Structure 1
Amino acid sequence: MLRTKPVPIAEDPQASPRAVIGLGAAIALIIGVVVGAGIFKAPAMVAGMTGSAPLMFAAWALGGLMSLVGALCYAELGTAYASAGGDYHFLHRAYGRSVSFLFAWARFSVIATGSIALLGFVFGDYANQLLPLGASGPAYYAAAAIVVLSWLNIRSVRAGTTAQAWLTGIEVGGLLLIVFAALALVGDGAAAPPAVAAGAPPASFGLAMVFVLLTYGGWNEAAYLGAELKDARRNMVRALVVSLLAITALYLLVTWAYWKGLGLAGMRRSDAIAADLLRVAFGPAGAAIISAIVATASVTSINATIIVGARSSYAAGRDWPALSLLGKWDERRGTPVNALRIQCAAALVLVLAGAWTGSGFKSMVEFTAPVFWLFFLLSGVSLFVLRAREPDTPRPFKVPLFPLLPLLFCAMCAYMLWASLSYVHNQSLGGWNAAWIGVAVLLVGCVLLLFMRRGRPA
């Protein structure tokens, strides 16, 4: 049931976020969150599901367009309700403290912290190929990356965003190297013919879009920069639009490179599409090159997720007395230091769990996708709720073609929620239906909420 009035969110003028992040740093952070290991895996699956080159490219272009529509919705929310809490803040204003707490719990327990640990293992797997440390090497590398990057961000917001800018530049350079490899093959006349092999599987454009949109996922994290972005009223829109246009162009270029280098049939058969392309272009050295590129992409995403992940925990700490430790902002460093430290500790615990359970941990994180899409859908609906409830709130940017574009965004989120539920319902983990994992996360959050509500609002 919707509340008639939002509960005020506590602000401490003595120690709160300041506008210190520039447009370039925001763009680098968004690109870093979005462009992860997915672009090295998803194109092979999308090629198989679409069944033809035109449909394959159309899927990636449509994914960019749909993400841009969502970004316009978030640009309105982020400029009208600028806050370090991002989605948490929108959900709080639209639905009240309980819904926003459940979101913060899901984000801390799995969505953000789990992603950091999982990305740490992706980095560890590839780093261990470059410099082997034995069977436990991936876990050592994962833990080291999380500790070092958390330390950088605890040190200061400038240190974290500067590292992000450099990492994003290296990551984009690595992806452009894949494009260069295809160009080299075309120049040598060695590129595979872009033809569909006989007996190709039937096209499944809808399922392909699920993997495309997952690969574009993460742009919404820009909302967590609302209180720290310089000239947020203009730069929030610019950061989202510029970064998504750049990401779309990059994804189309990389997909073209795979297609020209391996052909559609080769893409579909490949289990390591980027490695196969670079192996064709550069020989055995290609395997080492792709390991370095994927490792860099993973570290870039870890750092970006650390930055934005701690912001939602900080926002929850401002609202709930029992979590007040998380709600401390270090004005000198410009960071929520306690939230960053606790997030680092939680991620390290998950790394330990991942080393113990193996692939089961990866599955657990993936099977909570319905929880993410549920809250993403609620954030989209909050645009309608807040426009109706708070019509006088200044909105420096308004979504064009309202309500058509927000409805389109909500429909996309609803489809992804349905698709992710359909996927996990057919999976199992430890003999249990995977759909119960997301339910368990929310149920634990509900139990915690019962205890939390004994306190008074901060």
Structure 2
Amino acid sequence: QNHFFLQTTVGLISGICMIVGTIIGSGIFISPKSVLANVAAVGPCLIIWSACGILATLGALCFAELGTTITKSGGEYPYLMEAFGPIPAYLFSWTSLLVIKPSSFAIICLSFAEYASAPFYPGCDPPVVVIKCLAASAIVVITAVNSLSVKLGSYVQNFFTATKMIIVLIIIVSGIVLLAQGKTENFKNSFKDTKISIGSISLAFYNGLWAYDGCHYNKYTYQFRNADTVSFKFFRNLPLSIIIGIPLVSVCYVLINISYFTVMTSTELLQSQAVAVTFGDRVLYPAAWIVPLFVAFSTIGAANGTCFTAGRLVYVAGREGHMLKVLSYISVKRLTPAPAIIFYGAITIIYIIPGNIDTLINYFSFAVWIFYGLTVLGLIVMRFTRKELKRPITVPIVIPIFVTLSSIFLVLAPIISQPELPYLYCALFILGGLVFYFLFVHFKFNWAQRISKPITMYLQMLLEVVPAEEDTE
């Protein structure tokens, strides 16, 4: 009898390209201004970008061990389940679905709106209402595309992935040419006027690490349910891909920031509404329109990818009973998780109404690093409590310890140095998931499902959706 498995050999070059393509997105066009604002000088700004690359690399290595040890889908959920049990795992699912993923989508769409509107308001900031309406329109369009067709969403993603690499290369090459021409004035006394505190460093890391978001996703490991079918080359190439790929991204990010500083002082960069647009105006005129166009494409591509993956997380949560059952239904004609994607888009629109990019990044990062740290702590715990697990990739114990301590610093530093009520609200919201866990998961009260039954029936007819067949594999 023949047995068939997915091909599980990922070449080194392919692995590096996947990592670079996954990480580079909208973040590098959003974060430079905010990183600089928190440290106030060129030198510390470039150091923060480099340090973020190191931390992202170490974190990704920890997740590589977790992903090849516990080969299940669901992000951090299965790792937390194995290490600490169902309560932390559910709180991750709760926070991811209602805080982390929607705020990420909102940040990217607001960034798209800023860059798309900037050319129409030369010399001044676009009105807030224009930015928010444009962001909401982008959310609606992306939600519709992913609800209507998986293939259409994939085609959109492929096109926008190509455009983001083009604009990154344009900015880097332009910066190198300017440096060769002697444009180095802004790098003299690069540590002058530095303003650093514990809180400002943590917030600078929040914004820098936002540009590396995605480096912890084990997209290449979760399908390998039987480790015996995976080649030795894969387990050799995965950590090598991380060690080469993420530092390569870090080099790109530092070079992009250097490119910005070749034509802008720190003050000018902080005053710019859209940094890449200002760079294009000064370097590429009269073809400056290329920059906002391609950056807008890049951010839309990142938003499309976020919507695609997050919609399926909502779908799985509905199927597992963590959300309303209707969210696990799929379109009869399109075979897409339309209710889950529409729900996700609606939550995201709520986030853009009161929020701005910097605030959303801070609270996104606060929430996400709680669970990154808890997940890596779980790796340390399982080294002692789950010794029987087969670990094809094992990182030195000092790495997860360092990442865990860094996570604790990133979570506590802004609270201690600059306490703000929204951090408290975020923490209370995360803990509020315990109420829903005990009501609907632990005690399995199904009155919410009964109350929502008429709504479910109406949505079934309106959206033409049905329950998906169970995957028995």
The normalised TM-score by structure 2 is 0.75
> Contact 1:77–1:90 at 8 Å: present in 2 too?
yes
- The one-letter amino acid paired with 1:141 is S
Say which SS state the counterpart of residue 367 (structure 1) adopts. helix
Is 1:112 the counterpart of 2:101? The answer is yes
- What is the percentage of aligned positions where both structures have the same residue? 21
Match of 2:459 in 1: none
- From 436, 439, 462, the equivalent of 1:451 is 439
- From 247, 258, 274, the equivalent of 1:245 is 247
- From 73, 76, 80, the equivalent of 2:65 is 76
Is 1:387 the counterpart of 2:350? The answer is no
Distance 1:121 1:321, change over 3 A: closer
Deviation at 1:364, TM superposition (A): 5.7
Q: Distance in 2 between matches of 1:139 and 1:273?
A: 18
1:355-366 alignment to 2 at 5 Å? 357-359=353-355, 363=359, 366=362
Say which SS state the counterpart of residue 83 (structure 1) adopts. coil
Is 1:409 the counterpart of 2:395? The answer is no
Is 1:218 the counterpart of 2:211? The answer is no
1:197-212 alignment to 2 at 5 Å? 200-203=193-196, 206-207=201-202, 208-212=204-208
- From 394, 398, 410, the equivalent of 2:394 is 398
> Contact 2:102–2:351 at 8 Å: present in 1 too?
no
Distance 1:96 1:144, change over 3 A: same
- The one-letter amino acid paired with 1:59 is I
> Contact 1:25–1:164 at 8 Å: present in 2 too?
no
Match of 1:347 in 2: 345
Q: Distance in 2 between matches of 1:263 and 1:405?
A: 37
Deviation at 1:139, TM superposition (A): 3.9
Q: Distance in 2 between matches of 1:321 and 1:224?
A: 26
Deviation at 1:301, TM superposition (A): 1.8
Say which SS state the counterpart of residue 370 (structure 2) adopts. helix
Is 1:372 the counterpart of 2:361? The answer is no
Deviation at 1:310, TM superposition (A): 4.0
- The one-letter amino acid paired with 1:376 is Y
> Contact 2:106–2:348 at 8 Å: present in 1 too?
yes
Say which SS state the counterpart of residue 64 (structure 1) adopts. helix
1:152-163 alignment to 2 at 5 Å? 155=150, 163=156
Match of 1:176 in 2: 169
Match of 1:103 in 2: 92
Q: 1:234-284: CA deviations, max 9, x gaps?
A: 364355444313311211211221233335565466554323222221236
- From 180, 187, 191, the equivalent of 1:194 is 187
Say which SS state the counterpart of residue 392 (structure 2) adopts. coil
Contiguous gaps of at least 5 residues in structure 2:
122-126, 446-469
Distance 1:170 1:266, change over 3 A: same
Deviation at 1:413, TM superposition (A): 0.9
Q: 1:380-405: CA deviations, max 9, x gaps?
A: 11101222222121111111x2x211
Match of 1:418 in 2: 412
Q: Distance in 2 between matches of 1:18 and 1:445?
A: 37
Judge which range, 53-62 or 273-282, deviates more: 53-62
Contiguous gaps of at least 5 residues in structure 1:
1-16, 427-432
Distance 1:75 1:87, change over 3 A: same
Match of 1:441 in 2: 429
> Contact 2:318–2:324 at 8 Å: present in 1 too?
yes
Match of 2:283 in 1: 281
Deviation at 1:164, TM superposition (A): 3.7
Distance 1:314 1:144, change over 3 A: closer
> Contact 1:86–1:221 at 8 Å: present in 2 too?
yes
Q: 1:289-314: CA deviations, max 9, x gaps?
A: 33223312212221332343245445
Judge which range, 142-151 or 232-241, deviates more: 232-241
> Contact 2:210–2:365 at 8 Å: present in 1 too?
no
- The one-letter amino acid paired with 1:441 is F
Judge which range, 217-226 or 131-140, deviates more: 131-140
The normalised TM-score by structure 1 is 0.77
Say which SS state the counterpart of residue 216 (structure 1) adopts. coil
Q: 1:369-426: CA deviations, max 9, x gaps?
A: 3222211111011101222222121111111x2x211101111111111134347733
Say which SS state the counterpart of residue 223 (structure 2) adopts. coil
> Contact 1:370–1:421 at 8 Å: present in 2 too?
no
Judge which range, 47-56 or 21-30, deviates more: 21-30
> Contact 2:16–2:241 at 8 Å: present in 1 too?
yes
> Contact 1:26–1:239 at 8 Å: present in 2 too?
yes
Q: 1:294-348: CA deviations, max 9, x gaps?
A: 3122122213323432454455455448766666899xx9x9x43x641343223
Match of 1:86 in 2: 75
Distance 1:201 1:398, change over 3 A: closer
Superposition RMSD on alpha carbons, in Å?
4.0
Say which SS state the counterpart of residue 112 (structure 1) adopts. helix
Q: Distance in 2 between matches of 1:69 and 1:354?
A: 31
Q: Distance in 2 between matches of 1:55 and 1:418?
A: 21
Q: Distance in 1 between matches of 2:292 and 2:242?
A: 29
Deviation at 1:128, TM superposition (A): 4.1
- From 137, 143, 154, the equivalent of 1:141 is 137
Judge which range, 211-220 or 91-100, deviates more: 211-220
Q: Distance in 2 between matches of 1:163 and 1:238?
A: 30
1:20-99 alignment to 2 at 5 Å? 30-31=19-20, 34-47=23-36, 49-50=38-39, 53-99=42-88
Distance 1:359 1:313, change over 3 A: closer
Distance 1:147 1:177, change over 3 A: same
> Contact 1:224–1:308 at 8 Å: present in 2 too?
no
Give the number of equivalent residue pairs.
423
Match of 1:293 in 2: 294
